Amino acid sequence: MNEWLFPKITDYFDNQQRNTIFEYSQMLGFSLQEKKEQALLDIKTAMFEHTAILNDEQLTYAAFIIADDIYKSANEISLFNLYISEYLEASAGAFYQILNQRGFVLHYLANNLYAGTAGAGMIRPLQFFRYFFLPAGIKYICPHEIALELMKRDGLTVQDYDANIAQYLDEARLVGNSVIEKCHENNDHYFNLQIDGEKSNFAPSLARVGEDNVITVFRSEPPMAGTSCDVLFPGAEIDMKGAN
């Protein structure tokens, strides 16, 4: 019997009452190694069992809900460790691989405001978010985070970020757009975070809205429980509101 086979596929990520991603990941992380490895296999198996009974409409809706909960969880986390990435690789990673195999791709677009220094208010988008999305099989694209990598290329460090971000953002956006185009070519899922950005920054992604295999999520409200996203499912011609 698989004790990790929960009633609903969204139960592995739910962020309504508690941060289940954090709780389950820590539960596994502090287990004995053999028990942890078996649990991660059981979670992957559970993902296949859940998705096997979902039709395409249910599957694409779950894709939106799961990504949105990952974002909310990442945004509120106060302690990060690699147990979170391991849990997300087994759960969300398996799910988004199946989503791809079923012929669908997720484009999650977020335009949110983060303020503060690289070591304080900006620490999540600059240093944490990638370790939530990449294990889930979702490319993480954020010009501000790319700018930090460009600074490191030039011999700067995170301590130099605040004084230099303005001069690196234009190049970072170009790099981000090239990554997005590559994702489109390869049918890769991605999370495109623009920090207080212009709508034009989303042009490459918005050009794919409504295609037969593309799920497009747009979030401008803060990533927390009770807020809403705009969601366009494959082939859709009108906005559909999704609150979670």
Predicted local distance difference test score (pLDDT) of residue 9:
98
Predicted local distance difference test score (pLDDT) of residue 117:
86
Kindly report the pTM of this predicted structure.
Answer: 0.94
CA gap 144, 194 in Å, rounded? 8
Predicted local distance difference test score (pLDDT) of residue 43:
98
Predicted local distance difference test score (pLDDT) of residue 1:
81
Predicted local distance difference test score (pLDDT) of residue 241:
45
Predicted local distance difference test score (pLDDT) of residue 210:
85
Predicted local distance difference test score (pLDDT) of residue 237:
60
* Strand stretches in the chain, DSSP E: 105-112, 138-141, 189-195, 214-219, 228-232, 240-243
Average pLDDT along the chain, 244 residues, taken 10 residues at a time = 95 94 96 96 98 98 98 92 98 99 98 88 94 98 98 96 96 98 98 94 92 96 93 71 42
Q: Angle at CA 224, nearest 5°, toward 244 and 216?
A: 55
Q: Is 143 helix (H, G, I), strand (E, B) or coil?
A: helix
Predicted local distance difference test score (pLDDT) of residue 119:
81
Residue 44, both tokens:
């992957």
Predicted local distance difference test score (pLDDT) of residue 115:
84
Predicted local distance difference test score (pLDDT) of residue 236:
65
CA gap 69, 14 in Å, rounded? 6
Predicted local distance difference test score (pLDDT) of residue 240:
41
